[in-house]
C-alpha cells in the first residue's frame, strides 16, 4: 500500500482527489495540505510514498514545494492548467492530471505510480548512487552519508541512527523503510529492532549466552546484541567468509 498526501489550496479540490483515492485499496491517504508551506512541512514529517500536488496555490506553487526538498516523494500533478505539463515532466512527475479528473484517468495514474515506486528512478536513484540518504528528522530533512551510518535502532514510532563519532539522530520513519532503502551489503537487518552497517564492525565479544558486544571501527561506543541479533550476525559472517 502506498502512503499518499493531497495538496491543493481549495477544499473542493482536496475532497475530489481524496474521493478518488478512496476507490483504490492500494492507496492510503495519510494527510492533506492547503498551501505550499504546509505541504513542505507535512511531507517532511510524514514521509509519504507519493503526493497528489496542485500547481497554483496561495503563497507558492507546487514546483516550489519540490524545490524545497532534497529528495521528494513521487509526484502526480493535479491542476486545471494544461500549460504546466512540460514543466511537470521536466521535474520527473509520474503523471499530470487535468481537473476535473475522471476515475479511469486517475486509475491509470495510480498504475503508473505503483510502477514508479517499484523501480527507483530519477532523483532517488541519484541519491543512492552517491551514497547518501535523506532522513526526516525533528529539524527537517538531513542528508546522511551512508559511510557515516553505523546502525539503525527502532525507537517507538521512529528510529535512532548511530553515526560515526558517537553522534545520534532521531528519524520519523520505521526501521522497515530504512531496511528497504539501504543497500545490502553492507547493511544488514539483524532483528526487528536493529539494522547495522557490517562494513563498520571491528570486533565481536561474547558476554553471555544471550549477549554479544560488537566493537565499531571508528571507536565509538560498541553495540550490544541480544541472542537473535547475534545469531543473525554470525550467520552473515560465516556466509561472507
pLDDT at 100: 94
Rounded to whole angstroms, the Cα distance separating 113 from 202 reads: 42
Rounded to whole angstroms, the Cα distance separating 56 from 81 reads: 9
For the chain, which residues make up each domain, given as ranges? Answer: 2-125, 143-240
75 contact partners, CB below 8 Å, separation of at least 6: 50, 51, 53, 62, 66, 88, 91, 92, 93, 94
pLDDT at 126: 35
pLDDT at 133: 78
Phi/psi at 205 (5° precision): -120, 125
Cβ atoms of 99 and 79 within 8 Å: the answer is yes
Map grid coordinates 547518501 to a residue: 132
Q: Does domain 2-125 have CATH number 3.40.1350.10?
A: no
- Whether cis (ω within 30° of 0) applies to the bond prior to 205 is no
* Start-to-end C-alpha separation, the chain: 38
pLDDT at 162: 92
Which residues are registered as beta bridge partners of 152?
161, 195
Question: Is the model's pTM score more than 0.85?
Answer: no
pLDDT at 117: 77
pLDDT at 70: 58
pLDDT at 19: 97
Sheet holding 211-216, edge to edge: 201-208, 211-216, 223-225
Q: What is the CA 27 to chain-centroid distance, rounded?
A: 16
15 contact partners, CB below 8 Å, separation of at least 6: none
Rounded to whole angstroms, the Cα distance separating 9 from 34 reads: 4
Rounded to whole angstroms, the Cα distance separating 97 from 43 reads: 20
Give, for all 241 residues of the chain, the pLDDT tens digit.
899 999 999 999 999 999 999 999 999 999 999 998 898 889 888 989 999 999 988 777 888 887 766 567 899 999 998 888 878 877 778 899 999 999 999 999 999 898 877 644 434 433 444 577 777 776 667 778 888 899 999 888 789 999 988 888 888 778 877 887 788 778 888 888 889 988 888 888 889 888 889 888 888 888 899 888 888 888 877 765 5
**For the structural domain made of 143-240, what CATH number should be given?**
2.40.50.1020
Amino acid at each position: 500500500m502506498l502512503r499518499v498526501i493531497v495538496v491543493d489550496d481549495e477544499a473542493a479540490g482536496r475532497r475530489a482527489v481524496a474521493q478518488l483515492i478512496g476507490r483504490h485499496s492500494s492507496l492510503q491517504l495519510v494527510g492533506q495540505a492547503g498551501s505550499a508551506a504546509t505541504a513542505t512541512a507535512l511531507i517532511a514529517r510524514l514521509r509519504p510514498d507519493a503526493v497528489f500536488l496542485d500547481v497554483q496555490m496561495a503563497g507558492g506553487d507546487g514546483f516550489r514545494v519540490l524545490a524545497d526538498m532534497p529528495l521528494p516523494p513521487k509526484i502526480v500533478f493535479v491542476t486545471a492548467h494544461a500549460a504546466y505539463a512540460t514543466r511537470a515532466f521536466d521535474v520527473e512527475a509520474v503523471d499530470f492530471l487535468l481537473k476535473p479528473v475522471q476515475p479511469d484517468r486517475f486509475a491509470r495514474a495510480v498504475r503508473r505510480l505503483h510502477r514508479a515506486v517499484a523501480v527507483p528512478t530519477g532523483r532517488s536513484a541519484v541519491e543512492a548512487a552517491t551514497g547518501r540518504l535523506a532522513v526526516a528528522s525533528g529539524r527537517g530533512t538531513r542528508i546522511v552519508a551512508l559511510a557515516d551510518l553505523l546502525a539503525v535502532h527502532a525507537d517507538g514510532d521512529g528510529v535512532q541512527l548511530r553515526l560515526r563519532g558517537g553522534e545520534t539522530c532521531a528519524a520519523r520513519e520505521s526501521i522497515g523503510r530504512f531496511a528497504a532503502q539501504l543497500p545490502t551489503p553492507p547493511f544488514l537487518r539483524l532483528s526487528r529492532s536493529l539494522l547495522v552497517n557490517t562494513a563498520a564492525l571491528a570486533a565481536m565479544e561474547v558476554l553471555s549466552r544471550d549477549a554479544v558486544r560488537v566493537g565499531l571501527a571508528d571507536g565509538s561506543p560498541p553495540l550490544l546484541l541480544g541472542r537473535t541479533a547475534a545469531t543473525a550476525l554470525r550467520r552473515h559472517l560465516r556466509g561472507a567468509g
